Amino acid sequence: MSATLHHHNLAHLFDEVLSVHETQLALRCATGEHTFGELGVWIDSLAALLLSKGLRRGDVIAIGHDKHPLSYALMLAAIRLGVAYVNIDVASPVPRTRRILEVCGPSLLFFDDANYTAEMDELAQVQGCELLLLEAALLPEPSASDRARQRERSRLVDGSTIAYIMFTSGSTGVPKGVAVTHQNVLHLIAWGQERFGITERDNFANLSPMYFDNSVFDFYVGLFCGASLSPIHRSLLTKPYELVSYVSSQACTIWFSVPSALMYLMAVKAIAPGALSDLRTIVFGGEGYPKVELKKLYDRFLGQASLVNVYGPTECTCICSGHTLGADDFQQLEGLPTLGRLNPNFDHRILDEDDCDALEGELCLLGPNVAAGYFNDLERTAAAFHTISDANRFMKRMYRTGDLVKEADGMLHFIGRKDNQIKHMGYRIELEEIENALIRLPDVDQAAVVYQRSQSAYGKLVAYVASTGNVDDRALLQAVARLVPDYMVPSKLIVMPKLPTNPNGKVDRQQLRALQNL
């Protein structure tokens, strides 16, 4: 492990980064480039601002983060003082964001895009907190006394202090705020630096929105290892050719996104030969990447960039395992790539339906990357986070992921989700098994299956597939019937040019379910 673990909080680690990399680039934005030295000046000013507003260790601020440079500095200023931050989506419906703010109770609401002033003002009024637009005019000139107070506050921040609150995507309909500590993130940084060999020469393509868990890898493993970030604005994510061109022009070396984004770029042939020539590592996670599709990406970057399949719930600090793909992984193209082995400093259990240890069942994670719980939500924290009293793991904290896996030769293989496991016609079915069969069919780029419950004796399986070719739904159903048992064949199949995605870039199953009711 890297030496980062000798720091007892994130602020002390980043102060060291600032001193070593002062003249090097930290943020490579479309509007201009900024060094670590400039970032440090902003952090001093914003920390002084937070102190002037009376914020103390344990308080919370919310940031309407649309990837303005000052928003990154504000995250670091909050960390320095032991103030927890929560990044919110400025474009998200106000009612949903209001629920998020009700849970975390921020003292201040910042935002970095004046186009969203009306929405942010409404949120601030409902929450009863002060609203501040992040701009140069807001920054005070910190005094020597301000800096001394900041150093003193920073010294008092211990490893169990909450660094940030990351809300889940809301696929369940009720957002949950995962409270992640300084210690949790220090372990992630140490692992990430060693696992990917991150140096100051690396530049991360910061594709994920900052309110989405995948951004944690970019921000912390990138900046805290002295590498730079190239923030990718949301407007580019719907323009595949412009996106690839921009990432290429930024000479990014590290790419981390959900598989859906990569599959779409490959399907529309946006990643042409010669594009993204500086990439040395492509990391993907957050959902399954069918091997039949992944093989296309692997062949495209063979000899240039390594492909790493990572796994990890928000509740365990972004990434818990990483598997580098090789030729052996494609000897057969069915299903998903292995999750590999868990990162060092993780323990795990696999529990069957009777909560007994087994080789196949629900994955439960243990170790110092397990988050503190769901912020201000003791009931749901108690349901998912457990303290083990057995002597062999006495008082270890465990998180139940809801992910179903099987273990073979020390490697973990994803089977499905507990909440995607259905009982249909008397059979227990993983919806992912049907999706994997569909993705094996020619001209199918993506697939998602949802279960439509009705008043009838049985529900219906409805499949959605994305295809850029001319495919017939009946022909696809006949083809998939040759790959799965009769009871797994969808009652209905709908072909779309592209499956809908949520703001995080994942396939939006909630939206697909809503389509059934139209």
pLDDT digits (tens, 9 = 90+) for 346-369: 999 999 999 999 999 999 999 999
And the tokens for 13?
A: 């680690």
Looking at residue 4, its pLDDT comes to 55
Evaluate whether residue 326 is within a structural domain. Answer: no
Query: Same domain, yes or no, for 432 and 412?
Result: no
- CA–CA gap between residue 228 and residue 233 (Å, rounded): 16
Query: Same domain, yes or no, for 124 and 201?
Result: yes
Looking at residue 421, its pLDDT comes to 74
Evaluate whether residue 400 is within a structural domain. Answer: yes
Range of the domain at 38: 3-237
CATH number at residue 94: 3.40.50.12780
Looking at residue 58, its pLDDT comes to 96
The secondary structure of residue 96, as a DSSP letter, is H
The secondary structure of residue 273, as a DSSP letter, is T
Query: Same domain, yes or no, for 394 and 372?
Result: yes
Query: Same domain, yes or no, for 73 and 161?
Result: yes
Query: Same domain, yes or no, for 59 and 177?
Result: yes
Task: Specify whether the backbone of 14 is left (phi greater than 0), alpha (psi in -120 to 50) or beta.
Answer: alpha
Chain centre to alpha carbon of residue 336 = 19
The amino acid at residue 510 is: Q
Evaluate whether residue 258 is within a structural domain. Answer: no
And the tokens for 490?
A: 């969808």
Which of 398, 416, 434 corresponds to the end of one domain?
416
Evaluate whether residue 61 is within a structural domain. Answer: yes
Evaluate whether residue 504 is within a structural domain. Answer: yes
Looking at residue 420, its pLDDT comes to 80
Query: Same domain, yes or no, for 433 and 412?
Result: no
Query: Same domain, yes or no, for 176 and 60?
Result: yes
Torsion, CA 395, CA 401, CA 406, CA 409, rounded to 10? -50
CATH number at residue 464: 3.30.300.30
Q: What is the 3-state secondary structure (H, E, C) of 191-207?
A: HHHHHHCCCCCCEEEEC
- CA–CA gap between residue 436 and residue 259 (Å, rounded): 14
**Looking at the 3D structure of the chain, how many domains does it have?**
3
Looking at residue 452, its pLDDT comes to 83
Residue 207 to residues 86, 216, 255, 415, Cα–Cα distance (Å): 18, 11, 8, 27
Query: Same domain, yes or no, for 107 and 226?
Result: yes
Which of 416, 434, 449 corresponds to the end of one domain?
416
Looking at residue 46, its pLDDT comes to 98
Evaluate whether residue 336 is within a structural domain. Answer: no
Looking at residue 188, its pLDDT comes to 97
Give the tens place of pLDDT for each residue, 234-285: 999 989 999 999 999 999 999 999 998 999 999 999 998 889 999 999 999 9
Chain centre to alpha carbon of residue 285 = 8
Helix H segments across 302-430? 378-384
Query: Same domain, yes or no, for 228 and 85?
Result: yes
CATH number at residue 399: 2.30.38.10
Evaluate whether residue 26 is within a structural domain. Answer: yes
Query: Same domain, yes or no, for 479 and 388?
Result: no
Looking at residue 174, its pLDDT comes to 63
Looking at residue 404, its pLDDT comes to 94
What averages of pLDDT result for each successive group of 10 residues across the chain (518 residues)? Answer: 69 97 98 97 98 97 98 98 97 88 96 96 96 97 96 96 86 76 97 97 97 95 98 94 97 95 93 94 93 95 97 95 97 94 95 94 96 95 94 93 94 88 73 89 91 66 90 92 88 92 85 76
Evaluate whether residue 136 is within a structural domain. Answer: yes
Query: Same domain, yes or no, for 93 and 118?
Result: yes
Output the DSSP codes for 41-57: HHHHHHHHHHHHTT--T
Cβ of 474: how many Cβ atoms within 10 Å?
Answer: 9
Query: Same domain, yes or no, for 201 and 173?
Result: yes
Which of 363, 393, 416 corresponds to the end of one domain?
416
